[in-house]
Amino acid sequence: MSLPYFFVNEYNQEMVLVLDEDTSRHVVSVLRMENGEQLHLTDGKGHLMTATIVDAHKKRCTVNIDQQHFEERKGAAVSIAISLVKNVSRMEWFLEKATEMGVTAIFPLLCHRTEKQHFRLDRMRQILVSAMLQSQQVWLPEISAPVAFPDLVNKEKADHRWIAHCLEEERLSLRELTPASGSQLILIGPEGDFTAEEISLALSNGFKAVMLGATRLRTETAGMVAASLMCIR
């Protein structure tokens, strides 16, 4: 049986760690782990530690680090810039699944047709942490505060840049594109799609227009399709 995974905000090569109160409570009160039992810890920056509980306190559980190693990222960096959606639970679902797929970075986009909503960066990051631990990974995707479409398009310089839109114009099929190496970034628009002006701005900044399939997809579904096509080669 595999050991459970837990998150630590920082790891500086210490041999003894005191887990925060929430993690301690989960380890001791929920899982009922005791002194002498082992668990995995990760900082979401590539470090994986195996630790043994030496003081099973429900508010400040103390562990000894038995071994640790650093795992390099696998594959090229995959970033998805996706419009916020009105239904927050749909965005949370996307964040969870994108993390499981191995997406490197997520940029919440503010487009012309984005419906305004309250965005809690701390809540969204916690969803990423939970999904990383559930899928037993050691790299936490980066997530930014919401960024305006023109700002991101003018700033981001990934090696391969795509914009997925629904206009009846010439578009490549993302499924058929297999970049051999280099970072990747795709733009996913809001319900109602990008405006013609936004598409033109992206194309003028080196993005290529792509299609994700034959049907029109919801924003979070399009993000999930893009993640699967870009991460699973």
pLDDT tens for 23-57 read 999 999 999 999 999 999 999 999 999 999 999 99
| Mean predicted confidence (pLDDT) in 166-183 | 81
Distance CA 149, CA 9 (A): 30
Helix (H) or strand (E) holding 94: helix 88-101
pLDDT for 2 equals 87
Question: Do 5-70 and 78-231 come out as alike in CATH topology?
Answer: no
Query: Does 180 score more than 70 pLDDT?
Result: no
5-70 folds as: Ribosomal Protein L25; Chain P (2.40.240)
pLDDT for 179 beyond 80: no
Task: Assign 74 to helix, strand or coil.
Answer: coil
**In the chain, where the domains are located:** 5-70, 78-231
**Distance (Å, whole) CA 149 – CA 83:** 9
pLDDT of 224 reads: 95
Quick one: average pLDDT of 199-205? 96
CATH class in words for 78-231: alpha beta
Supply the pTM of this predicted model: 0.90
Terminal-to-terminal C-alpha distance of the chain: 29
Q: Which of 28-42, 122-136, 180-194 has the lowest mean pLDDT?
A: 180-194
- Residues ≥6 apart with Cβ < 8 Å to 89: none
213 versus 41: the higher-pLDDT residue is: 41
